[in-house]
Chains A and B, each alone.
Chain A
């Protein structure tokens, strides 16, 4: 048995033991999420329109993460609405900054990995860079949206008579805790994918200006900040969406 299959099985067993039926659903969300990523790669490599592919798959991925990952549809509805709106804002930010960063394609460090591969593949790597950035932020945005709406709905249920100003303030308080921990998740997630690259920079004695202007560093760094900005925007927006739905009742 290959190591990957064994790990997949062990993870499945653990998720059933710890999560029961909810665990099975979460497991499913991860598997589907993987298939969606791979499908996007396949479609783009076949020459499908990159923007159209992204526009179709972004909501699909949010739906998988949020509806299969959470088990209360009310939490999921609000989380989906807010994470979808935040993603729309983030896309604009990504388009602007990716344009100025001019950091697309594959870094000079890839060197020997590229041997035998075509350097004129006929698909826009600037556009692919934007899609990669959007996809990287989706996880962090939806996780924060789920956590924030779960916390707020809990508050709403336990305290029916809370005023909307107080409600908004409590929302921000809950949000601050979420932000602190979510930033850690994002930061270390990127440390994990940065590590080899940073060792490379250090071993080759890159100067700080060299690193700050390096294509790969800028690519990865801006993606990390996009994710943090996404989480920052989710907090007030989710609070706003839930307090408005509270008003209607």
Chain B
């Protein structure tokens, strides 16, 4: 016991050192193709009140920045520039002393392209990893492994999608969903009956949910769907939207299938005389409790994303209906299709548990 406690302390210490080193290294790293500079001083020169066409009061701030270049041919040279930004910092931003930034230098002209943010990414990952190791006993490596594996598959899927140049998008993401689900379930559950029940339940639920949603979209002639509002679309926005929705809901359906099937398998294990009807009502009872919160998880992820744009539209005196259509409507549709998937999973997971766990047991007798 003492040994394992000491071992855990050692692991925490080593992990903390690695995380700290990684964050510091990324912060001070200057080994990039782009030129990096550090802001050695920042002075506010003026702040002027401005009004836009809708009478919103803002301020234009001019600051004088002194930059010292940290790498490449201009290394250690000093530059002084003026940076103009608005107080609301919608598209531009102010800089402060000691901040590291990427710059572009042409002749004597220096321009800031973007602040250096990668070390923040490493820092927040470090915080997450440390919390996982400290708070979670047995599974931290498994959770991290699944995060890394799934991200790697996500990357490959995107490469493949681009390779296919936006054709067969829906087929690609359907297959991707099956691969994602298989890998995650194998990782967390191992090869066992429960795992097949979860996998089958996930695939069938998604199939029914998307079939149903697609039928509804066809029947209503996709009235009121503004595919124009799909952000950053570089290919057919319609299939991109469906692909996004499919991936978005996949995790929630897997989560729910896991919860329902593993709880039912416990019940089946402890109650040898369980009837089909009892199993059905237990599955429904578990499902009822989790479906509401799960739908809200996805809903908030999809909606919060669009909030800055929504506020900007409303601030620019656009009507509520117009704002809704161009900023929020796709998020709502995505949430609705996901919600249908989450609700359908309740009976499907229960049936799947019955088929794989209860009926098979009956056959063995």
Smallest distance from the beta carbon of A146 to chain B beta carbons, Å?
Answer: 5
Q: Which chain A residue shows the least CB distance to B222? A: A3
Q: Which chain A residue shows the least CB distance to B216? A: A6
Given A37-B304, A120-B86, A190-B301: A3 and B220 within 8 A (CB)?
Answer: yes
Main secondary structure of the interface of B (DSSP, over half): helix
Smallest distance from the beta carbon of A221 to chain B beta carbons, Å?
Answer: 6
Given A8-B336, A97-B124: A179 and B314 within 8 A (CB)?
Answer: no
Q: Which chain A residue shows the least CB distance to B102? A: A213
**In the bound complex, CA of A67 to CA of B274 (Å):** 31
**In the bound complex, CA of A132 to CA of B86 (Å):** 21
| Interface flag for A138 (CB, 8 Å) | yes
Binding site for A on B (CB under 8 A): 32-34, 50, 52-54, 56-58, 60, 86-91, 93, 99, 102, 114-118, 120-121, 123-125, 127-128, 131-132, 135-139, 142-143, 146-147, 150-151, 154, 158-159, 161-162, 180, 184, 188, 212-213, 216-217, 219-225, 230-235, 240, 243-252, 254-255, 258-259, 262, 284, 287-305, 307-316, 320, 324, 328-329, 332-337, 339-340, 343-344, 346-347
- Looking at the complex, which one of B58, B120, B147 makes contact with A100 (CB distance below 8 Å)? B120
- Looking at the complex, which one of B159, B223, B287, B334 makes contact with A192 (CB distance below 8 Å)? B334
A-B pairs with the 9 shortest C-beta distances?
A192-B248, A188-B251, A26-B292, A69-B292, A2-B224, A45-B314, A139-B297, A122-B56, A139-B300
Q: A180 and B296: CB pair below 8 A? A: no
- B99: chain A residues at CB < 8 Å are 102
- A105: chain B residues at CB < 8 Å are 88-91, 93, 308
**In the bound complex, CA of A181 to CA of B54 (Å):** 47
**In the bound complex, CA of A116 to CA of B136 (Å):** 50
Q: How many residues of A contact B (CB 8 A)?
A: 123
Contacting B at CB under 8 A, from A29-76, are 29-30, 33-34, 37-38, 40-42, 44-45, 65-66, 68-71
Q: A202 and B333: CB pair below 8 A? A: no
**Additional 20 contacts, C-beta under 8 A, given A18-B346, A33-B299, A118-B52:** A3-B224, A4-B329, A70-B292, A116-B316, A118-B56, A122-B87, A138-B300, A139-B299, A140-B301, A185-B298, A189-B248, A191-B154, A195-B247, A197-B231, A209-B118, A212-B117, A212-B121, A214-B114, A218-B120, A222-B120
Smallest distance from the beta carbon of A30 to chain B beta carbons, Å?
Answer: 6
**In the bound complex, CA of A209 to CA of B116 (Å):** 10
- Looking at the complex, which one of B115, B299, B316 makes contact with A118 (CB distance below 8 Å)? B316
Q: A172 and B136: CB pair below 8 A? A: yes
Given A139-B300, A199-B235: A128 and B316 within 8 A (CB)?
Answer: no
Smallest distance from the beta carbon of A7 to chain B beta carbons, Å?
Answer: 4
**In the bound complex, CA of A14 to CA of B220 (Å):** 18
14 contacts between A and B (CB under 8 A): A3-B220, A6-B219, A93-B127, A105-B88, A106-B91, A114-B91, A118-B54, A121-B312, A122-B88, A191-B154, A197-B232, A199-B240, A212-B117, A228-B128
